[in-house]
Amino acid sequence: MRKNVFTALIAAIALLLIAVASNVTPETSIFYMVSSIVLMAAYTVGQYRFGKSYR
């Protein structure tokens, strides 16, 4: 469980760094933020569901 959260956190930080490195406009940064949050939520739900089904 902790490993999955840690991996998700690393992925979120990587996305944020990529967004900053690209020197994006405000609109694109908002899009990046929303999409990263959606991806994080989907990933967390998927991990929880699959983890529960395997146990």
Each residue's pLDDT, cut to its tens digit, for the chain (55 residues) gives: 567 777 877 887 887 777 776 666 667 777 777 888 888 888 888 777 776 655 5
pLDDT of residue 50: 72
Angle at 42 between CA 36 and CA 46, to 5 degrees: 145
Q: Whole-model pTM above 0.75?
A: no
Sorted by sequence, the CB contacts under 8 Å of residue 15 that are 6+ apart come out as 32, 36, 39
pLDDT of residue 54: 54
Domain boundaries, given as residue ranges, for the chain: 2-54
